[in-house]
Amino acid sequence: MSPILRMPTVEASPEGRAVASDAKGHTMRLLIIEDDRDAADYLVKALREVGHVADHAADGEEGLALASHETYDVLIVDRMLPKRDGLSVIGALRTKGVTVPALILSALGAVDDRVKGLRAGGDDYLAKPYSFAELLARIEVLARRHGGREETVYRVGDLELDRLSHRVTRGKEEIVLQPREFRLLEYLMKHAGQVVTRTMLLENVWDYHFDPQTNVIDVHVSRLRSKIDKGFAQPLLHTVRGAGYMIRDGAR
Amino acid sequence: MTALAKLLKTTAFRLTLLYLLVMALFAAFLLGYFALNTRRLMNEQIVRTVDNEIEELTGQYEAAGLRRLVHIVESRANQPGSSLYLVTTPTGAGVAGNVASLEPGVIERTGWVETSYRRLEEPDGGEHIAVVKVTALPGGFRLLVGRDLAEREHMFRIVATAGRWSVAIVLVLGLVGGVFVSQRVLRRIDAMTDKARLIMAGDLSGRLPVGGSGDELDRLATSLNTMLERIETLLRGLKEVTDNVAHDLKTPLTRLRNLSEAALRHATSEADYRQALEAVIEESDGLIRTFESLLMIARAESGEPRADMVVFDAAAIARDVGELYEPLAEEKGLALRVEAAETVAVRANRELIGQALANLIDNAIKYAAEAEPAAARLPVPAAAEAVSADVGAGPAGPVPAGAGEIEPAAGTGARLLLDAPPMFPAAPADVVVSAAVVGDRVELAVADRGPGIAPEDRARVLERFVRLEKSRSKPGSGLGLSLASAIARLHGGELRLEDNAPGLRVVLSLPRPAPA
């Protein structure tokens, strides 16, 4: 049974295309450890289309060997693999001191499987079937997180967020945010220039991994948008159709 | 299998045989004991009377001499009976008595001996058996007194024969009884087996026959019937679910297929294709969501013990999820309020409880929004009017602050108003999320003021895929409530639907964790 894969929707909007090809301007080197040939081919092709380079390993042993000897930005690891289980591949890499971020892909989506995956050393977990936009957003965030960006003050255009004093200003104006709105903006700004999906927001800002049924996140984001963008000529908080949101200084 | 072989194989028959054997042995032992004891008693009696007689005769001899002895012996020997007498000279020649011959050597030895003999009155008659005692008299004469044993042997034979017969009768009656009982049991077991075969063959509505006597077979049949009942219910549920799954998954799959076909047929521009593909993705997302919910319900219902149950604050979850949905409610023109104590400890899976609560709030918002078109919900005056209508004779305008003076008899409506916290004077929130400890339960509740659910429909909506409106036009998989209910059951709790008058109040009731 091959998982339902969706066409990348990033190119569905001009903004999405821009993000994929040139917003960060750097090419990632990725390793896909996945035994389903079709799924892997699709992923390699889709990642190549958005400007990344992807290798493919068809089983756990091969994946472990490749990941140990080559340098990758992010590993995409299926959980159920021939020869060696995905979690054990990650465990073996961590034991060897290889800290490359790993995204676990699994048909097992339930909450405790996710917890198990993260406990085994995975950095993120995505249940199949996933959307390519979701996968792309997550690996880009993973690659960046590995580089580390923990400034005290985040700046995007004339928007400033001070993580210590919890003050947000745009131009000369102070913007008053609710605590949750602050955390939402903080997460978006931490990943400025990157697509952040709704699920990522729910997981990182609210710390929930469940399906919220309705797009509640959209309402929160549009509230935030009305506070930071309303009355300003240059919008900073953008909707990336079919994927999520991004904070970006459009003027640059 | 022949009837006999079948009979021999039944437990009832084998048990009967075993009992029979034990009973027969017991009877044989009893009779044997009785026979031996009788024999011993008779022996003792013989010994006593013979001893007495010898003593008496010896006395007579010593007192009155041989002549007197012979006289007495002769007179006694002539009486009919089983007694034997013999007086001999020291050389062994008979002087008096009724014994014609003895086994050789008997008269020479004194003391008790069992011997065969012939009687004088029937010299040609057969030999008899007797027990005799020989005594040496002073002067070398010998006295023999004895008893014929025919009586004793006869008695013994009667007892032995009775014994053999009774054992035989016990055996025969037992066998017949055993066959009868076994066949009766066998018939009932056969009836049960036949019925069970029918049920196995697919007639799930079949039940095992119950005799009505309340014996162990009846109890077994009743238990099995209860089990069958449960299995049938489960299977019926499964079938319903399968039907619903088929319907609710096939419908979007059909739409998916139709969309794709339509695009192939009609799309002319890239924009057309893009639009069609986007619709396809949206449709697939709905399908995936339905699948996820189904899987979660299945996992929750399988009730596998979960390792990730932790003690956390349910009040915080209520506030979190309430806050998550608050803007959505507001966007639909509804007020959402969270009423939760400071902390309400609960032991559960945080994600699952969050999911359940999210489903409930999502539902509440969906139905509350639909129930009240925005214009009808302008809060203060409308609600105040409603209250005054309750009071009946009360003032038509907003209730004055001094309404506290209204007598209790004025009606519950007025008292309700007085009891209400002053911060929320008239307009109740459209959706209220609450977390509280009620007795030994932790109750998370979501109350709305929507159309509510009729009492007769409440059990049904917890089932999978049930949506009350027949058209199934509204978005939603119909799994929200059943998922919440499955999650509640997984935690040893329950999901309760109550009347919020108006509206619906859904209570997720969980056991309170034992204090550490």
Domain extent listing, chain A: 10-147, 153-247
Neighbouring C-beta atoms of residue B119, cutoff 10 Å = 18
pLDDT of residue B474: 46
CA–CA dist B382, B391 (Å, integer): 15
Q: Does B480 touch chain A (CB under 8 A)?
A: yes
Q: Among 3.40.630.30, 3.40.50.300, 3.30.565.10, 3.40.50.150, what is the CATH number of B305-372+430-511?
A: 3.30.565.10
pLDDT of residue A234: 83
* CA angle, B33 then B38 then B39, to 5°: 100
Neighboring chain A residues of B359 at a CB cutoff of 8 Å: 213
The residue of chain A with its CA nearest to that of B308 is A112
Report residues of chain B scoring pLDDT below 50.
Answer: 374-426, 467-475
Strand ranges (DSSP E) for B98-234? 99-102, 111-119, 128-136, 142-148
Query: Which amino acid is located at B34 in the chain?
Result: F
Classify B29 as helix, strand or coil: helix
- Among A199, A210, A222, A225, most B C-beta atoms within 10 A, so best to mutate, is A210
- Among B270, B288, B309, most A C-beta atoms within 10 A, so best to mutate, is B288
Count H helices, E strands: chain B?
A: 11, 13
Q: Does B474 touch chain A (CB under 8 A)?
A: no
CA–CA dist B92, B142 (Å, integer): 8
pLDDT of residue A17: 38
Neighbouring C-beta atoms of residue B110, cutoff 10 Å = 13
CA–CA dist B259, B251 (Å, integer): 12
pLDDT of residue A14: 38
Question: Any idea which residue has 């149950």 for tokens?
Answer: B309
* Phi, then psi, of B114 in degrees rounded to 5: -100, 130
The residue of chain A with its CA nearest to that of B293 is A211
pLDDT of residue B93: 82
**Contact state of B328 with A219 under an 8 Å Cβ cutoff:** yes
The residue of chain A with its CA nearest to that of B290 is A213
**Contact state of A109 with B480 under an 8 Å Cβ cutoff:** no
Position A211 pLDDT exceeds 80: no
**Contact state of B327 with A216 under an 8 Å Cβ cutoff:** yes
* Topology adopted by domain B3-155: Beta-Lactamase (3.30.450)
Neighboring chain B residues of A6 at a CB cutoff of 8 Å: 281, 284
Question: Cα distance from A37 to chain B (closest Cα, Å)?
Answer: 22
pLDDT of residue B174: 80
Residue by residue, what is the 3-state secondary structure of B302-325? HCCCCCCCEEEEHHHHHHHHHHHH
* Count of alpha carbons within 13 angstroms of residue B399, beta-carbon side: 29
State the pairing for strand pair A53-57/A29-33.
parallel
Q: Using an 8 Å Cβ cutoff, are B117 and B128 in contact?
A: yes
Neighboring chain B residues of A9 at a CB cutoff of 8 Å: 278, 281
pTM (predicted TM-score): 0.60
Widest Cα–Cα separation across chain A: 60
Q: Does B348 touch chain A (CB under 8 A)?
A: no
H or E stretch at B194: helix B150-200
Of the pLDDT bands very low, low, confident and very high (cuts 50, 70, 90), residue A2 is very low
Question: Cα distance from A84 to chain B (closest Cα, Å)?
Answer: 25
Nearest residue, CB atoms, B292 vs list A109, A206, A216:
A109
CA–CA dist A87, A121 (Å, integer): 8
Strand partners, B414: none
Neighboring chain B residues of A220 at a CB cutoff of 8 Å: 324, 327
C-alpha distance from residue B374 to each of B106, B380, B398, B424 (Å): 135, 14, 22, 20
Nearest residue, CB atoms, A111 vs list B325, B351, B476:
B351
> What order do you get walking across the sheet with A102-106 strand by strand?
A53-57, A29-33, A74-78, A102-106, A124-127
Strand partners, B135: B143
Question: Any idea which residue has 């008693």 for tokens?
Answer: B41
Strand partners, B115: B130
Q: B66: which residues sit within 8 A by CB, 6+ positions away?
A: B87, B95, B139, B141
CA–CA dist A57, B449 (Å, integer): 56
**Contact state of A210 with B293 under an 8 Å Cβ cutoff:** no
Neighboring chain B residues of A129 at a CB cutoff of 8 Å: 284, 288
Domain with CATH 3.30.450 in chain B: 3-155
Domain A10-147 class?
Answer: alpha beta
CA–CA dist B369, B367 (Å, integer): 5
C-alpha distance from residue A109 to each of A11, B283, B299, B357, B482 (Å): 27, 20, 11, 19, 19
Q: Among 1.10.1740.10, 1.10.8.60, 2.130.10.10, 1.10.10.10, what is the CATH number of A153-247?
A: 1.10.10.10
pLDDT of residue A147: 52
B11-78 and B150-200 are packed helices; what angle lies between their axes, rounded to 10 degrees?
170
Residue by residue, what is the 3-state secondary structure of B158-172? HHHHHHHHHHHHHHH
Tokens of A212: 């919220």
CA–CA dist A72, A53 (Å, integer): 10
Distance between start and end Cα atoms, chain B: 65
Q: Does B163 touch chain A (CB under 8 A)?
A: no
Nearest residue, CB atoms, B355 vs list A112, A210, A223:
A210
Q: Using an 8 Å Cβ cutoff, are B492 and B303 in contact?
A: no
pLDDT of residue A111: 63
* Phi, then psi, of A53 in degrees rounded to 5: -110, 130
Tokens of B440: 């030994």
Neighboring chain A residues of B321 at a CB cutoff of 8 Å: 208
The complex scores an ipTM of 0.76
pLDDT of residue B43: 87
Domain with CATH 1.10.287 in chain B: 216-297
Strand partners, B339: B434
Q: Which of A252, A142, A121, A119 is nearest to A197 (CA)?
A: A142
What letters, b where the CB count within 10 A reaches 16 and e where it falls short, cover A220-247? bbebbbebbbeeeeeebbbbbbbbbbbb
**Contact state of A208 with B320 under an 8 Å Cβ cutoff:** yes
Question: Cα distance from B365 to chain A (closest Cα, Å)?
Answer: 10
CATH number for the domain whose boundaries are B216-297? 1.10.287
The residue of chain A with its CA nearest to that of B273 is A12
CA–CA dist A159, A229 (Å, integer): 10
